[in-house]
Amino acid sequence: MRWRVIITVFALLATGLVASGPAAAAFAPKQPPLKTPWTDQVSTTNPLPEYPRPQLVRTRWQSLNGVWQFAGAANLDDPPVNRDLAERVLVPYPIESALSGIQRHEAYMFYRRTFTVPADWAGQHVQLNFGAVMWQSKVWVNGTAVGTHEGGYDAFSYDITAALRPGGNEIVVGVWNPVDSQDIPLGKQRLSPGGIWYTPSSGIWQTAWLEPTPAGHVSRLDTIPNLPASALDLTVQAAGATGQTVRAQVLTQGKVVGEASGTTGSAIRVPVPGAHLWTPDDPFLYDLRVTLSGGDSVTGYFGMRSVGKAVLGGVLRPTLNGKFVYQLGTLDQGFWPDGIYTAPTDEALRFDLEQEKALGFNTVRKHIKVESARWFYWADRLGLMVWQDMPAMVAGRDASPAGQARFESELRRMVENHRGITSIVQWIPFNEGWGEYDAGRIADLVKSLDPTRLVNHDSGSNCCDSDPDPGNGDVIDDHTYVGPGVTRSPTATRVLVQGEYGGLGLHVTGHEWDPAHTFAYEIQPNSDALTARYVQITGQLPELISQGVSGSIYTQPTDVEDEINGFFTYDRQVRKMDFARVRAVNLQVVAAASGTVLPVGKLVSLRVTTPGYTDRYLRHIGGVANTEVVNASSDKVLKQDATYWVRPGLSDSACYSFESRNFPGQYLRHRGYRVYREANPAPADATFCAKQGLSGGGTSFQSPSLPGYFMRHRNSEVWMDTDPGGSFADDATWNVVGPWWRSGGDLQEGAAHSFGVTTTGYTNRYLRHSGSDVRTDVIDAGSPEADRQDATFVVRAGLADNSCYSFESRNQPGHFLRHSNYQLHSDASDGSVLFQKDATFCAQQPRAGGTGNASLESYNYPTYFVRHYSSLVYISAAGAGHAWDNPNLYDADSTWRDATPLGA
């Protein structure tokens, strides 16, 4: 091992990539609390060797990553020019990280190293580039101050030609990172981390490098895809090249497909004939080559796509290339146990995005951090839409005028520097009101900087923002833990999203950052239970989509420090869920949003999407289908008439049939082009094939027996029709929404009932409470009256929804059956919304069959049914992972006999 270190240091000295000194040979990274699969792959001679700026590439460059000298300092007033520093640090890993070799915080610090300019760069200007430095940096080259930069998340450069000398040269970088002691954009960095706040990332945390350029050179490529013109609108930003001629070429597979000329700083329209559009399913990228008349030449890339919003299927939706694509994503925070803000390798950086894509997600919310250019390259290349947060200032503290100025300066740079990122579809300047000020003005500012993307003024403004919503921007964003669930609706100008939900946790011994201080919104006992709970809550998204939700973000892809709510452990070593099941439910959500997949075996209602008529639903009256206004105050019959079971198509199982909720065995069918409800219909006439809504959203239903005919409403009547123009596309588009009547079975409200076990061998047992405890016991006519009354409940309209039921104790009025931590109890209502939901159950058709039987589904845990297990009673999902989720006898154990009341 000693010989390997000596050889490594010799190689570094030979290339001029590390300052000499007696401590150089002693460098080694420190041990992190957790090691990722890439920790030991980090090179100390050439870490992160990839060219760091994929959208502005030059062929000649020299990485400055590697071992530098280091020292903490009291201030930045005395740069250590020509002075050795005692410690060694591995750039570009933040000093708090183990990979840096420092693994502690310093408010002030100096980096120092030497380098040699390659001989073949003679006659060129030399640019010193930094991907990002946290937070304020000052740079000296050979004792000459070349510049000061403030901002921890953006790249910057200095032309250091005038400061260079022949042979060896010296760089000194001084850094100040006050973290939360000052008002700066810092995201979740804290001097005292814990809970949802994390370790700081101070100093140089992205690649540093040198490259030669002509005096006039390209500094940025601003690319805006123009789909209507089938062109790329390009502006070449340049330094020292005012008025130079630009030649721009678009290429694919090495072949030029379009080119144009112009001047630096001016818009150039480059044709892209027959544009191949970028989508998450097909993330096609074009290559771009730009040459200045002064000799500079760079390459880059871009994708052709548009971002917008439009009323589709009667709902304002975000659009990608003019179409509604549901944005299903994760809250990606970009932290690593070995590198903190910096992924150990490029393979590791790519890994997280690859795994999110493999899980069926098409979106990632980059949460209050701005990543390196290579992270965005992988998002573009892999096909993930990005919601980009602005790093927040300190939560719970009003920003000072100086802090506001810093925030707006960095916000401008974040937007301007990422105009050419294909994957970014949304900007988020504030999160949950943290450090928020002038939210409406800031939203308008971002929109003025970039009108081509949506602006979400404050993600989670329903959650924690005490300021009133100014109504600016393009997005209404609710956060709900565990959720999902929203409190608002889309408007005529703003789409609705679920910006955060989930947070389901699991302990994994040996893979936790600090086992004594873990956090999640809900802890599950094992992987099976965690997976089942994820599937259960995410399976509720289609109903939210039908209510207007257009995107959702799950918390989160990996654990982060104290938070243990990831799909992966923080070290990326353990998958915490069954990824096949996660992918399956995610794909179901996206398919449901497309309007082509309906929930077979579930109750639904069909809402009109024609503007001005969206309060109307398809219902049957006396066997004839019509549309009618239905709302919360409508009577039971109307709600039931507007509710249908989704069944496999009677003539084609790839399509659908709609069975009446309150007339079992009767289906919607067309006859003489009019739509009716009838028993024993001709199978083809009662089968409807789901197509993406003709108006661009929702679902249209085409008859397989009447090609070209779609179900549409005409006034209040429902017909099969072809397109005569006018409002037909809207009239023939329906939103498949949650049912107006959620119970598939009926119980007699106001009457006393007892619920008997139907499992063979246990049919003498009944559901009963004893005090607060709920279990099953053997009870018969000879049992004490108190026991018989404990097994008797009065059926009430559901406390949370009157289309379901609540069960009040016969002998303890005001006490209701409710679930808590999955187990049933009998408790007095506390009047809370949560209690009302926990105490509401929807009667469904018996899972085990049988006349007079019913299964009781939890209102707020859909797919979880009341089930007895070892004499206790739970809400349970078969195979979910708890002992009581044992699938053995699940259907029988979750089916109850509606019995004659045992108590008087």
Q: What is the pLDDT of residue 466?
A: 59
- Rounded CA-CA distance 721/709 in Å is 5
Q: For 469-502, what is each residue's pLDDT tens digit?
A: 888 999 999 999 999 999 899 999 999 999 999 9
pLDDT for the residue numbered 620: 92
Give the pair of three-digit tokens for residue 867.
Answer: 């089930």
Token digits of residue 718: 């429902």
In terms of Cβ atoms closer than 10 Å to its own Cβ (0-12, 13-18, 19+), residue 676 is buried
Q: Each residue of 612-640: pLDDT tens digit?
A: 999 999 999 889 999 999 999 999 999 99
CB 390 within 8 A of CB 187: no
| Mean of pLDDT values over 62-80 | 98
* Greatest CA separation for the chain: 106
Report residue 20's pLDDT band, with 50, 70 and 90 as the boundaries: very low
What would you report as the CA-atom Rg of the chain, rounded to the nearest whole angstrom? Answer: 32
Q: Which pLDDT does position 243 carry in this prediction? A: 87
Please name which of 332, 863, 873 lies closest in space to residue 581, comparing C-alpha atoms.
863
Q: Is the pLDDT of residue 862 over 50?
A: yes
Q: Compute the distance between CA of residue 346 and CA of residue 315 in angstroms, rounded to an integer.
A: 41
pLDDT at 715: 87
Q: Categorize the per-residue pLDDT at 465 as very low, low, confident or very high, splitting at 50, 70 and 90.
A: low
> Which residue in 704, 673, 665 sits closest to 687, CA to CA?
704
pLDDT above 50: residue 384 = yes
So what's the pLDDT on residue 900? 87
**For position 462, what pLDDT does the model report?**
87
Q: What is the mean pLDDT of the chain?
A: 94
CB-CB contact of 457 with 420 (8 Å): no
List, for residues 587-605, the tens digit of each pLDDT value.
Answer: 999 999 999 999 999 999 9
Identify the pLDDT of residue 6: 29
pLDDT score recorded for residue 24 = 47
**Contact at 8 Å (CB) between 703 and 656?**
no
* Paired strand residues for 175: 109, 137
Query: Does the structure show a pLDDT above 60 at 447?
Result: yes
Backbone angles phi, psi at 531, to 5 degrees: -65, -45
Instruction: Calculate mean pLDDT across residues 80-85.
Output: 97
Contacts of 333 (CB under 8 A, 6+ apart): 188, 198, 367, 368, 369, 556, 560
| Amino acid, single-letter form, for residue 470 | P
Question: Residue 10: is its pLDDT beyond 60?
Answer: no
Residues counted in the chain:
904
Res 180 pLDDT > 90? yes
Q: Is the pLDDT of residue 319 over 50?
A: yes
Residue 654, CB-side half-sphere exposure with 13 Å CA sphere: 4
- pTM of this structure: 0.93
Q: Are 604 and 734 in contact (CB under 8 A)?
A: no
- DSSP character for 355? H
Cα dihedral value 668, 674, 680, 683, nearest 10: -80
Question: Hunting for tokens 């390196």 — which residue is that?
Answer: 372
Mean of pLDDT values over 197-203: 98
Q: Among 49-58, 267-276, 468-477, 841-850, which stretch is predicted with the lowest mean pLDDT?
A: 468-477
Per-residue pLDDT band at 17 (split at 50, 70, 90):
very low
Give the list of residues 6+ apart from residue 782 with CB closer than 8 angstroms, or none. Answer: none
Query: 463: pLDDT confidence band, cut at 50, 70 and 90?
Result: confident
Model confidence at 281: pLDDT above 80 = yes
Peptide bond into 549 cis (omega under 30): no
Q: Report the alpha-carbon distance of residue 820 to residue 834 in Å, rounded.
A: 10
For residue 154, what pLDDT band results from cuts at 50, 70 and 90? very high
Q: How far is CA 663 from CA 623, 659, 804, in A?
A: 10, 8, 18
Question: Can you give the pLDDT at residue 356?
Answer: 98
**pLDDT tens for each residue of 646-659:** 999 999 999 999 99
Mean pLDDT of 107-128: 97
Question: For 38-45, which contacts have Cβ atoms below 8 Å and span 24 or more sequence positions?
Answer: 38/338, 38/343, 38/344, 38/345, 38/347, 38/348, 39/98, 39/99, 39/338, 39/344, 41/344, 41/345, 41/347, 42/90, 42/99, 42/338, 42/344, 42/345, 44/8, 44/90, 45/8, 45/11, 45/12, 45/17
Q: What angle do CA 507, 512, 518 make, to 5 degrees?
A: 65
CA distance 497 to 473: 13
Backbone angles phi, psi at 606, to 5 degrees: -115, 115
Rounded Cα distance between 107 and 441, Å, is: 33
Per the structure block, which two tokens stand in for 661?
């909720």
> Token pair 């191949």 is at which residue?
276
Check pLDDT > 70 for residue 330.
yes
